[in-house]
Amino acid sequence: MQIHVVQSGENLWRIAQTYHTKIPNIVQANQIADANQLVVGQALVIPIWGSFYWVKPGDTWWAIGQRFGIPYTTIAQMNRINPETPLPIGLRLFIPPIPKRRAEINAYIEPRGATVNPTLINDARASGPYLTYLAPFSYEARRDGSLEPMPLQGIPEVAAETGASLMMVVTNLEGGQFSGELGRDILQSRAVQDLLLDNILAEVRRVGRYTDVHFDFEFLPGDQREAYNNFLRRAAARLRKEGLLISSALAPKTRADQPGQWYEAHDYRAHGEIVDFVVLMTYEWGYSGGPPMPVSPIGPVEKVLQYALTEMPASKIMMGQNLYGYDWTLPYVAGGAYARAVSPQRAIELARQYGVAIQYDNQAQAPHFDYVDEQGKSHKVWFEDARSIQAKFDLVKRLGLRGVSYWKLGLAFPQNWLLVGENFDVVKR
């Protein structure tokens, strides 16, 4: 795959000629709604074998080889150039496909209401080939140890069709919010925990495709830290006897004693010892109720990952990644209207609709743009594109992490899945 950023005056014909491919291939890969209206700054994935690189000032053969993880002599040979020859700026080099590495990929899927929306099922079917786990969100634990049922219509069948296994997500949600008091009631009663685990195992047997039980207990009081650890120890012992994996979701911490109810009860070191893997929720720096900013800026994301690596092996860490952005109405007022969640595809449509160019923040590794709507209101949009996702994949590979976990399906982002296939040999269980 090649990532190409649309420049002023470019059209699909010119881009296709540059990469020796065909316009329909580019349109299909990027699900371009109007082939005659590209957005300046839009990142396109070009489906070709290998990629091209244009020599920049300061480049050397060795540096280019390091950049792509390929011996520079191989690159020189592929381009029929003597590697002793100086590299002129602007020279186009063909880069052979980069070797893939094995990784696990998870995506949460959140049905709303009593039935599963067919559009959501179609999205799961399209992304399923790139997934190790498909994670229905969520079974809600109750104070008496019961589980609130959730709609699954079509989800196990899609998992079977695409070779994905199911991840059973169990939460302390109550009334649509994470409840610390609900969590406390469960964690303070051994009898309730035993009944909860009985009900979890009964559901695993009923559905038949769960391979992992995933605990996402959030907003727990800080004094429940060790109680949560002990519950996970008991859960791990029972679940592994049934041949199941156990995993947990962790808030994005950068130190062990990070204050705040979202963080204090999440013990990175203990979870790293107890469970088979963790999902780090490395997103929501920019969130619907906060000021406009990138949802998952790469610097803060890496800080969380680097801290996690001091507490657990890389093979147990899945980096969380958002499949969405936000559209803020300006000026931002604390406590005012929430930002609207938008898919990457919808973000591009907004930029096209309002005739604005997409900018890219190289420090945050995130695209953004501004526009003014029909009512004269100003907006700021931060979202994800092929460049921001590739930057995260490069980070996952550099740190040797287990893989990536997405929140959540149902938001169109076709380039992401093409890049998953380009970068990773996805593990299937």
d(CA 128, CA 106): 10
Alpha helix ranges (H) inside 108-257? 118-127, 155-162, 180-187, 190-207, 225-241
Mean pLDDT, consecutive 10-residue stretches, the chain (429 aa), reads 95 95 96 94 96 94 92 95 93 91 97 90 97 98 96 96 98 97 98 98 97 98 98 98 98 98 98 98 98 98 98 98 98 95 98 98 98 98 98 97 97 96 96
pLDDT of res. 115:
87
Q: Are 418 and 25 in contact (CB under 8 A)?
A: no
d(CA 357, CA 343): 17
In CATH terms, the superfamily for domain 101-324+385-426 is Glycosidases (3.20.20.80)
d(CA 253, CA 311): 11
Q: Are 159 and 209 in contact (CB under 8 A)?
A: yes
Three-state DSSP state, 380 = strand
Query: What are the residue numbers of the active site?
Result: 218
Q: Are 283 and 320 in contact (CB under 8 A)?
A: yes
pLDDT of res. 414:
95
pLDDT of res. 387:
98
Three-state DSSP state, 160 = helix
pLDDT of res. 362:
97
Q: Where are the beta strands (DSSP E) in 57-98?
A: 92-95
- Looking at domain 2-95, its CATH class is alpha beta
d(CA 248, CA 203): 18
d(CA 319, CA 395): 10
Evaluated on CA atoms 383, 384, 388, 392, the torsion sign reads positive
Evaluated on CA atoms 319, 364, 35, 23, the torsion sign reads negative
Indicate the DSSP class of residue 143. T
Domain boundaries, the chain: 2-95, 101-324+385-426
Three-state DSSP state, 68 = helix
Identity of the residue numbered 198:
D
Indicate the DSSP class of residue 338. P
pLDDT of res. 189:
98
Strands 101-109 and 424-426, sheet pairing: parallel
Tell me whether residue 421 is exposed, middle or buried, using C-beta atoms within 10 angstroms of its C-beta: 0 to 12, 13 to 18, 19 or more.
Answer: middle
Q: Are 300 and 289 in contact (CB under 8 A)?
A: no
Three-state DSSP state, 369 = strand
φ, ψ for residue 405, nearest 5 deg: -125, 125
Indicate the DSSP class of residue 97. P
Three-state DSSP state, 257 = coil
Q: Are 98 and 69 in contact (CB under 8 A)?
A: yes
Q: Where are the beta strands (DSSP E) in 9-100?
A: 43-46, 51-54, 92-95
